């Protein structure tokens, strides 16, 4: 075993092709000791090495089932945290690049959520009237907060099921960090828009009056995904003018107006399956991350289907897109040499409470 971890810097000069060969060789050496999880939004040069691919719910389940010693998560920080929380003590979750994160997740932190909970307590009894629900795109300590307060985690796949469970227990929901997933799901549940208010975490009482809080069924955190904010109704209008027979499908992190103008709305898994199941020759406009859209575009060519990115402006998520072949090769070759780099360890007290909220999610959505 080498005395020190292999340095990252020399890897920056490797080509993607060189990294590919070294990644494949390291995977073969590590064998069943290793599992690589790849989120749909990863670049192709990384995604191709994933043993399992999918969205957050699917990958969190694969993390829980995995028998591998090392779980290398090609995604972002909160995903690797979930893998650590759900995996066994002898397993290690690893994030190849620690700067891979989620700007939406950063819009909600524990201090702000606790302050909101306390301020709601000036109007309500939140512990009996409000169920906290955090999108899986959030830090472990927010999942722990939900676990400690009778709340739960959701994904874009199961948000409606989770909200139905939440409303069966308490009258109101505090939903964070993505207001759009909350609103778009609430509308599908026939909750009036006027009963869904936005909590501005930078203003006292979220910028709401006491009456607005009392009247609300859903209190939506003022958070959003910067990529999905790029999509606009005018882009859909232009597409329909050019392709009257075309279909529009959007992720629910998109705005209410975009989702209302779409033919289909759903998670990344839903988007993929819907387009795969469509008739040959279909023309699709897709409102979600560019790597996934490009992958579908190339896959569907053989069936004569056209898959088009919704925004005319190319907008990559600078943090979701962070992991590259160089970081992955460095991570795996360190494992071959007996070094664990970039291990993600959630403190046990936080993990225990977060596990409660995650287990609730998995039980409710099973």
- DSSP-assigned states of every residue in 2-45: -SSPPPSGGGGGS-HHHHHHHHHHHHHHHGGGEEEEEETTS-HH
User: Domain end: 210, 226, 242, which one?
Assistant: 226
Residue 366 pLDDT more than 70?
A: yes
Q: CA–CA separation, 156 vs 218, rounded Å?
A: 17
What's the mean pLDDT in 206-214? 98
- CATH number for the domain spanning 276: value is 3.40.50.10800
Do 221 and 159 fall into the same domain? yes
> Can you give the pLDDT at residue 120?
98
Do 218 and 150 fall into the same domain? yes
Q: For 26-46, how does the pLDDT look when each residue is reduced to its tens digit (9 = 90+)?
A: 999 999 999 999 988 888 999
Q: Are 63 and 86 in contact (CB under 8 A)?
A: yes
- Whether residue 163 lies inside any domain: the answer is yes
- Whether residue 84 lies inside any domain: the answer is yes
317 vs 350, higher pLDDT:
350
Instruction: Give me the domain span that covers residue 146.
Output: 105-226
What's the mean pLDDT in 256-274? 96
Residue 35 neighbours by CB distance under 10 Å: 23
101 vs 89, higher pLDDT:
89
Do 220 and 257 fall into the same domain? no
> Can you give the pLDDT at residue 181?
98
Total domains present in the chain: 3
Q: For 127-142, how does the pLDDT look when each residue is reduced to its tens digit (9 = 90+)?
A: 999 999 999 999 999 9
- Whether residue 239 lies inside any domain: the answer is yes
214 pLDDT tier (thresholds 50, 70, 90): very high
> Can you give the pLDDT at residue 42?
87
Q: What size, in residues, is the chain?
A: 366
For the chain, helix, strand, coil in percent to 5 are 50, 15, 35
Q: For 44-54, how does the pLDDT look when each residue is reduced to its tens digit (9 = 90+)?
A: 999 999 999 98
- CATH number for the domain spanning 127: value is 3.40.50
Q: Regarding beta strands 70-74 and 247-250, do their DSSP bridges make them parallel or antiparallel, or are they unpaired?
A: unpaired
103 vs 130, higher pLDDT:
130
270 vs 321, higher pLDDT:
270
Residue 323 pLDDT more than 70?
A: yes
For 321-337, letters b (16+ CB in 10 Å) and e give bbbbbbbbbbbbbbbbe
191 pLDDT tier (thresholds 50, 70, 90): very high
What percentage of the chain reaches a pLDDT higher than 70?
A: 97
- Whether residue 353 lies inside any domain: the answer is no
Find the range with the poorest average confidence among 75-79, 122-126, 202-206: 75-79
- Whether residue 180 lies inside any domain: the answer is yes
> Can you give the pLDDT at residue 325?
96
Residue 1 pLDDT more than 70?
A: no
User: Domain end: 263, 287, 309, which one?
Assistant: 309
Do 80 and 141 fall into the same domain? no
**C-alpha to C-alpha distances, 346 to 81, 152, 271, nearest whole angstrom:** 6, 18, 32
- Whether residue 358 lies inside any domain: the answer is no
Do 65 and 133 fall into the same domain? no
105 pLDDT tier (thresholds 50, 70, 90): confident
Find the range with the poorest average confidence among 59-68, 111-120, 193-202: 59-68
* pTM, two decimal places: 0.92
> Can you give the pLDDT at residue 3?
59
Do 110 and 186 fall into the same domain? yes
What's the mean pLDDT in 219-248? 95
314 pLDDT tier (thresholds 50, 70, 90): low
What's the mean pLDDT in 252-267? 97
Do 90 and 17 fall into the same domain? yes
> Can you give the pLDDT at residue 301?
96
Q: What is the mean pLDDT of the chain?
A: 93
- Whether residue 185 lies inside any domain: the answer is yes
What percentage of the chain reaches a pLDDT higher than 90?
A: 84
Residue 60 pLDDT more than 90?
A: no
- C-alpha 48: how far from its chain's center? 19
- Whether residue 316 lies inside any domain: the answer is no
Residue 2 pLDDT more than 70?
A: no
> Can you give the pLDDT at residue 234?
97
């Amino acid at each position: 075993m080498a005395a020190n971890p292999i340095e990252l810097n020399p890897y920056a000069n490797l080509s993607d092709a060189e990294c590919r060969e070294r990644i494949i060789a390291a995977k073969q050496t590590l064998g069943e000791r290793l599992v690589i999880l790849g989120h749909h939004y990863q670049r192709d040069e990384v995604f191709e090495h994933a043993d399992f691919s999918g969205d957050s719910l699917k990958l969190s389940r694969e993390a829980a089932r995995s028998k591998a010693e090392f779980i290398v998560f090609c995604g972002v920080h909160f995903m690797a945290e979930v893998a650590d929380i759900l995996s066994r003590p002898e397993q290690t979750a690893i994030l190849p690049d620690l700067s891979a994160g989620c700007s939406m997740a950063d819009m909600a932190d524990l201090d702000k959520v606790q302050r909101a909970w306390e301020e709601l307590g000036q109007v309500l009894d939140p512990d009996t009237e409000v169920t906290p629900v955090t999108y899986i795109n959030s830090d472990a300590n927010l999942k722990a907060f939900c676990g400690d307060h009778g709340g739960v985690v959701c994904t874009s796949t199961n948000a409606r099921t989770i909200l139905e469970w939440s409303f069966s227990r308490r009258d109101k929901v505090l939903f964070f960090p993505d207001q759009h997933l909350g609103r778009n799901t609430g509308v599908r549940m026939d909750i009036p828009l006027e009963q869904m208010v936005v909590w501005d975490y930078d203003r006292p009482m979220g910028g709401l009056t006491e009456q607005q809080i009392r009247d609300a069924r859903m209190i939506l955190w003022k958070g959003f995904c910067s990529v999905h904010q790029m999509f606009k109704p005018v882009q859909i209008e232009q597409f329909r003018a050019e392709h009257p027979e075309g279909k529009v499908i959007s992720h629910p992190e998109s705005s209410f107006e975009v989702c209302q103008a779409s033919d289909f709305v759903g998670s990344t898994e839903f988007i993929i399956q819907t387009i795969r199941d469509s008739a040959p020759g279909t023309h699709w406009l897709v409102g979600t991350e560019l790597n996934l859209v490009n992958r579908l575009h190339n896959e569907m060519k053989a069936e004569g289907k056209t898959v088009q990115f919704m925004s005319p402006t190319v907008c990559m998520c600078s943090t979701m897109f962070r992991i590259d072949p160089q970081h992955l090769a460095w991570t795996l070759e360190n494992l071959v040499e007996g070094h664990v780099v970039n291990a993600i360890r959630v403190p046990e007290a936080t993990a225990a409470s977060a596990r409660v909220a995650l287990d609730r999610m998995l039980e409710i959505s099973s």
